[in-house]
Structure 1
Amino acid sequence: MPFQDVTPEELEFLVKKALELEAVDAKIIPTYQVFVEKRVVLKCRGCMGYGKKLTCPPHVPTVDEFREILKEYRYALLVKFRSPAVADEEIAKAPYKTWLDPEAPAETREKAGKFWGDYFDYSKKTLLSMLELEKAAFNEGFTFAVAFVNGSCRLCEKCNVEKGLCIHSNMARIPEHAVGINMKKTAEEAEMPLTFPIKGRPEPMSILLID
């Protein structure tokens, strides 16, 4: 079937697959409801990992380049997960890497270390789930389906960025914010809102472009 004839209903098998992979919600949306903004990548520039991973800026398509890429897709799958990590109000509002701050109270460092450890471990599981969804779409003839993930790549302890060659290119995927996707606005438009600051268990969201 030509892709231009595909309806959102015919992509519902991906929603079902996402729920089987323990997503808490999933929805097919038209790509005009995926919001891309240049201001999003400013958050990347403030990250201590900026430029240190091949899946992050400036090693990925620019916002303008991604806008052109997005025009070549008609649908996207939004996938919301629920992390086992639990954050109380103190940890939710604490600076990143509080667990390494010698001036922070020992109890706070311990709680922060457990939260982020659990969160990062789960992010590896969500990556595998998104790769399964990408594969499922590919196997149904959507050969240009590509997954984006929530958060920077953690497949390697240190990225091979100096040599410019990803050693896990079959698995590594670009974080959605790295190309300018405003996931908060996209999620709200899809009636799958994200909560900030985090309360309790975080609900990371990823996206699969389908074509």
Structure 2
Amino acid sequence: MKQEKQDLIAELVRFVVEKGGEATMIPAKDIVTAEWVRQKCLFGCSGFGRRFSCPPYSPTPAETKKVLKEYKTALLIKFLGDVGETTPERLVSRDMTAYVQNVMYELESMAFSAGFYKAFAYTGHQCGLCTHCTAKDDDADITDCMNRRKMRPSMEAAGIDVYASCASVGWDLDILSCTNVPGGSVLDSPMTTVMLLLIE
């Protein structure tokens, strides 16, 4: 990779660090997709079909796999902890979901302006840009999204195996455990949010 491109990517990494995260380069070929990931969304997540950033609106694992073949370089990004207040009813704060969505939109925009015209971001969590997502309404269509310019799917919503992809760069993710409390549950340890920026 030419020095100029390395310097531009270093600027993107610095931006992530300024926002409280960590970033490392990853070859696009090392990003793992799997069909089972979408099943976790369908059968393990109460958000299925309730956000336009989630299945069935998000890209399928097969579609994501095809897209990844069009890239060579990406940035894997992680944030430790939450930027807002959580409750037993909500393990991840609305502040955090909106925060990572906005950070990744800014990062993608920076990359595009720097000349990486193929830049595309995958965020973490369900989209948190709107208090009410019209995906919940009858006969909803993704074109009804009020924030399509900024909204991006999470890695897992697009069928990316986050654990395997992180392992390829030496990031070991622990399985999150929760304790049941009245009204819901609380995390036993800080959450790690992982995102991805496809660069070129």
TM-score bucket (shorter structure): 0.7 to 0.9
Contact 2:38 2:60 in 1 (8 A): no
3-state SS in 1 of match to 2:192: coil
Deviation, 1:12, is 2.1
Relative to 1, partners in 2 of residues 1:168 and 1:40: Cα closer, same or farther, differing over 3 Å?
same
Q: Which moved more, 1:70-79 or 1:47-56?
A: 47-56
- State how far apart, in whole Å, the 2-side matches of 1:52 and 1:41 are: 15
Aligned residues: 182
Deviation, 1:207, is 0.7
Aligned to 1:192: 171
State how 1:96-115 maps to structure 2 within 5 Å.
Answer: 112-113=88-89
Aligned to 2:184: none
Q: Over residues 71-93 of structure 1, what are the superposed CA-to-partner deviations in whole Å (9 max), with x where a residue is unaligned?
A: 1111111111122379xxxxxxx
Unaligned stretches of 5+ residues in structure 2: 178-187
- State how far apart, in whole Å, the 2-side matches of 1:163 and 1:112 are: 29
Aligned to 2:183: none
- State how far apart, in whole Å, the 2-side matches of 1:61 and 1:42 are: 13
Q: Which has the higher helix share?
A: 1
Aligned to 1:116: 91
Q: Over residues 153-172 of structure 1, what are the superposed CA-to-partner deviations in whole Å (9 max), with x where a residue is unaligned?
A: 12223322234121111111
- The root-mean-square deviation of aligned C-alpha atoms, in Å, is 2.4
- State how far apart, in whole Å, the 2-side matches of 1:36 and 1:7 are: 30
User: TM-score by structure 1 length?
Assistant: 0.77
- State how far apart, in whole Å, the 2-side matches of 1:169 and 1:183 are: 24
Contact 2:176 2:191 in 1 (8 A): no
Contact 1:83 1:122 in 2 (8 A): no
3-state SS in 2 of match to 1:69: helix
Aligned to 2:34: 37
- State how far apart, in whole Å, the 2-side matches of 1:32 and 1:21 are: 27
Unaligned stretches of 5+ residues in structure 1: 87-109
Aligned to 1:159: 133
Relative to 1, partners in 2 of residues 1:150 and 1:188: Cα closer, same or farther, differing over 3 Å?
same
Higher CA-based Rg: 1
Q: Which moved more, 1:189-198 or 1:165-174?
A: 189-198
Q: Which has the higher strand share?
A: 2
Sequence identity of aligned pairs in percent? Answer: 28
Q: Over residues 105-149 of structure 1, what are the superposed CA-to-partner deviations in whole Å (9 max), with x where a residue is unaligned?
A: xxxxx9624x626x3322211211111111110110111211111
